[in-house]
Structures are given as C-alpha cells and as structure tokens.
Amino acid sequence: MTNEEKRTELATSLAPDTDTDEVLDCVLADAEALVLNRMYPFGYPDGMVVPSRYERIQIQLAAELYSKRGAEGQTGHSENGITRSWPEKSALLENHAYVWLCSAELKRRKQLMMVVDAVGKRYGRLVVIDRAGSNKKKNAVWLCRCDCGNFTKVTGNKLRNGHTQSCGCLNRERLKEANTRHGCMRDDLYKVWKSMRQRCNDVNHCAYHNYGGRGISVCSEWDDYSSFKSWAEHTGYARGLDIDRQDNSGNYEPSNCRWVSRKTNCNNTRSNVLISYNGRSQTMTQWAEELGMNLTTLLWRYRHWNDIEKILFEPLRRR
C-alpha cells in the first residue's frame, strides 16, 4: 500500500476536511515508527517500511495519534469537570493486534538471553577477561588469561563443561609427566596395565560393571607401573598375550594372574557356558573344536535338547 493510499484511507476514517495532507503524513510517519520499533527493538535499517501485514495496524495507530493531536507532552487535561488522559505513544500498540519481532531480531534476542556473563570467573587455570565476539555457530567466545601467563579464546560451552581448562599447558604437563615417569606410554604392556586399572577404578569405563562394579580391584603393589612391569617380565609376558585372572571373582594380584592367549582368555569368562560330560567340563567352544562341530550347531542343540550325550555325539545330518 502506497503512502497516498494510506493517507486516503486514514482521511476516510476521520473527518474528510479536517486537516491537510501534511498532518496526515505526520501521524502516519509516527505510527510507522511505532510498528518498526516494535519489530526491530535494536534499531531498524534506513528505508525500512511497514510490512503489508501490519499496514492496517499502522493506519489504526495513526487515527489514534491524530485524535490526541494538540496534547503533545501532556499526560492529561481537565475541562468543565471532565478529565481526559492520553496514553504514551509506546502504549498504543497494546490495544491492537500483536506485532511480532522480525525473525532476525527474535533470534538475536534469544542469543543475548542465552549468553551467560562469565567475566571474572575461573575455569580451571583460565580466568575470563572479556567477551571476544561469537564464532560461526553463534556461540559466545571469551578471552581468557591462563595461570601460565598466556591468553587464549575459548567458547563458553567448552569452559562450562570443563573441556578446556588451560591454554594447552595443562595437557603438555600431563603428557610430560606420564612420559617422564616410566617412558612406556606406547608399550603394549603399559596399555594392558592402564586398561586393567580403568576397568576396576573408572566408573565411566564401559566394562566397569563387570570388574570394579563387582568389587574386583587391582592390588596396591601394582599401582606402580614399574612393579607390574617387573612381575610381567618374570612370568612369561610376550606381545599379544592377555592378562587373565584364574579366579574370575578374585582381584588383579600376582597370585591370581597369569599370561594367556586371547583364545584361552575368552574361555575363562563368566559368560561362557560349561558343558560337563563323563567328569570333564569344557566351554562350548572347546567342545565344538574337539568334536569338529560348528559352534552354532552345538549352541542350537544345547538350547533345544536336554540329553547331553545326544547334544555332543548325535551325528550331523548331511544334506
């Protein structure tokens, strides 16, 4: 709708010969500013006009502004015992259909509401100095000073979840300490030792419920890697062997552990099904290997048949 059309419609709703076009254009401009300020609370671009869906609201606002013309700056007026008050311009929109924030401004307002002021707060070795803008994903970025004296920029979510606690010096120190202690971080034996301790001590480890969760622990003697390494070298450790607890309910300690192949280790787990026949107890895998039978076939027989002798020695049907 053009300005002339808006002026014509406004004049039609008012007394047709009341005022000049300049007065109508003035109240239309004021109404336009009210609508645009509501849509763009942080400031609207030059040349922006009221969208077509809000033109009726602009004309209604202009009519109300025209009705209070001549009372600019007054909050009320009394005459002949009758008191009349005029609302502020910013309050006129409350009487009309809701004017929504534009999508860009709404997104910006949400982002500002989500930003948590972190200036002065400490996260590990980092102290937040100032806001440093946002990254490509619109996450707040903060300028931080590390205890070592370096400065770094970190996103707010990485500070809050503990992902970043220093400028990088903390990780370098930890790596140096681990390498200096025994110099074996890349050794297969060190990985065995570390994995054993994690299964028993780290509640977040995927296998903790099968080890530490069952009360299985690592003996205090093996808290020192050099002691564990010395035991391994004297008990036949070779690359590719697994550490195995002879008693599955016992702890990791010299008297209960041995070095075995992966196959032997898998045969000594709680999940194995033992089949006993003529005083011999073996896992299902071991029976299948001894009898030359497919493990899947033996497992099907075990689930569906009750006679152990038939399970083990029933001739296979040839197709």
- 257-311 pLDDT per residue, tens: 999 887 776 666 666 667 788 888 777 777 777 778 887 887 788 888 888 888 7
Same domain, 237 and 158: no
Average pLDDT in the chain: 77
For the segment 185-215, what is each residue's pLDDT rounded down to a tens digit? 557 888 889 999 999 999 888 888 888 998 9
Residue whose tokens read 């709680």: 270
Same domain, 288 and 308: yes
279: left (phi over 0), alpha (psi -120 to 50) or beta: left
Same domain, 143 and 233: no
Enumerate the β-bridge partners of residue 218: 252
Please give the structure tokens belonging to residue 196. 């054993």
203 in any annotated domain = yes
318 in any annotated domain = no
Residue 144 in contact with residue 118, Cβ under 8 Å? Answer: no
Range of the domain at 307: 274-313
Same domain, 51 and 102: yes
- Residues whose CB falls within 8 Å of the CB of residue 257, separated by 6 or more in sequence, listed in order: 243, 244, 245, 246
Enumerate the β-bridge partners of residue 142: 131, 154
Output the pTM of the full model: 0.37
Same domain, 154 and 250: no
Residue 73 has pLDDT above 60, yes or no: no
Count other Cβ atoms within 10 Å, centred on residue 42: 11
Same domain, 196 and 232: yes
Residue 262 in contact with residue 282, Cβ under 8 Å? Answer: no
77 in any annotated domain = no
Same domain, 17 and 35: yes
Question: What are the CA-CA distances from residue 166 to residues 30, 140, 146, 187 (Å)?
Answer: 54, 18, 6, 28
- Split into its structural domains, the chain has a count of 4
Same domain, 10 and 104: yes
pLDDT class for 220, splitting at 50, 70, 90?
very high
Same domain, 216 and 298: no
Same domain, 262 and 293: no
Q: Give me the helix-helix angle, 284-291 and 295-304, nearest 10°.
A: 120
Higher-scoring residue by pLDDT: 203, 118: 203
78 in any annotated domain = no
179 in any annotated domain = no
pLDDT of residue 14: 67
Residue 284 in contact with residue 302, Cβ under 8 Å? Answer: yes
pLDDT of residue 64: 76
Same domain, 48 and 92: yes
177 in any annotated domain = no
Give the Cα separation of 208 and 254 in Å (integer).
21
Please give the structure tokens belonging to residue 175. 């790596």
178 in any annotated domain = no
- Residues whose CB falls within 8 Å of the CB of residue 85, separated by 6 or more in sequence, listed in order: 75, 76, 77
Question: Among 172, 200, 218, which residue terminates a domain?
Answer: 172
For the segment 235-248, what is each residue's pLDDT rounded down to a tens digit? 988 888 889 888 88
96 in any annotated domain = yes
- The angle subtended at Cα 283 by Cα 282 and Cα 285, nearest 5°, is 120
Give the Cα separation of 238 and 232 in Å (integer).
9
- The angle subtended at Cα 228 by Cα 222 and Cα 233, nearest 5°, is 160
Same domain, 247 and 289: no
